[in-house]
């Protein structure tokens, strides 16, 4: 799951980024409302964590602009503005949740997971496709009832493809989802992970669309 963190206090941003990344989130950080708007227009994110007191563009103005663009990405406001009016304004402008500073990291994690589940229509962090089941909380995969051990990034890759089953996902989109704005990934890393998944499940699970990307078909392969 890829998160856009919009927070101008470096210490808070570093702490949130480190904590969420320990729980398998990919976190891209910006410290300015205008930069956040550009990032959201050019990238695909599963969640935005938004501070309100930002340089460049206030958090509420960013929120208004995002919703005016009809973007439906879940947005969690994380702010020291704790009055009822601030919460009402944020929620009325289209925020999905509001957490005040100081906050508990475990609560932040739980709220992030709940918003992502809700956005994809799940009540549990569980994905199932034929004989394959992914438990997104426990980071476990099972195929034909037996546990399948995957490297963390292979598990993330399979999650992305299952969530978009029936759609071709380009290699560039997958790389961005797996690594965010980092640029240190090997060029053949997707092929390595896809090969691992096929070897441990079935070769028919993921189809390669040559020159484009990969797809998990809606129909379960025989």
- Note the pLDDT tens digit of each residue in 17-34: 999 998 888 899 999 989
pLDDT band, very low/low/confident/very high, at 122 (cuts 50, 70, 90): low
Q: For residues 33 and 57, is the Cβ–Cβ distance under 8 A?
A: yes
pLDDT band, very low/low/confident/very high, at 44 (cuts 50, 70, 90): confident
Structure tokens at 40: 């959201």
- Note the pLDDT tens digit of each residue in 151-201: 988 998 999 899 888 999 999 888 888 888 766 666 688 999 999 999 999
- The span from the CA of 141 to the CA of 131, in Å, is 10
Under 8 Å CB-to-CB from 194, ≥6 apart: which residues? 157, 206, 208, 214
Structure tokens at 19: 């904590």
- The span from the CA of 171 to the CA of 21, in Å, is 22
Structural domains of the chain in order of their starting residue, each with its CATH number: 2-119 (3.40.50.2300), 126-215 (1.10.10.10)
Global pTM value: 0.71
Q: Where are the beta strands (DSSP E) in 63-111?
A: 75-79, 97-100
Q: Which residue has the higher pLDDT, 83 or 76?
A: 76
Least confident of 34-43, 54-63, 94-103, 116-125: 116-125
Helix (H, G, I), strand (E, B) or coil at 36: helix
Structure tokens at 43: 């990238």
Helix (H) / strand (E) containing 2? strand 2-6
């Amino acid at each position: 799951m890829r998160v856009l963190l919009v927070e101008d206090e470096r210490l808070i941003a570093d702490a949130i980024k480190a904590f969420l990344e320990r729980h398998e989130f990919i976190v891209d950080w910006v410290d300015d409302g205008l930069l956040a708007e550009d990032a959201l227009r050019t990238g695909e994110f599963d969640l935005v964590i938004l501070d309100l007191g930002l340089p460049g563009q206030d958090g509420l103005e960013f929120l208004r602009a995002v919703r005016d663009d009809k973007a439906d990405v879940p947005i969690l406001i994380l702010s020291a503005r704790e009055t009822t009016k601030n919460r009402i304004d944020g929620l009325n402008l289209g925020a999905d949740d509001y957490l005040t500073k100081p906050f508990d990291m475990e609560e932040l994690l739980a709220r992030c997971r709940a918003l992502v589940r809700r956005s994809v229509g799940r009540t549990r962090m569980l994905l199932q496709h034929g004989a394959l089941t992914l438990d997104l909380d426990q980071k476990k995969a099972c195929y034909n009832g037996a546990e399948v051990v995957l490297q963390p990034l292979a598990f993330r890759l399979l999650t992305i493809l299952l969530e978009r089953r029936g759609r071709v996902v380009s290699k560039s989109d997958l790389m961005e989802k797996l690594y965010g704005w980092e640029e240190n990934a090997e060029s053949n890393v997707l092929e390595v992970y896809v090969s691992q998944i096929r070897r441990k499940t079935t070769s028919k699970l993921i189809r390669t669309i040559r020159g484009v990307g990969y797809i998990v078909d809606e129909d379960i392969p025989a």
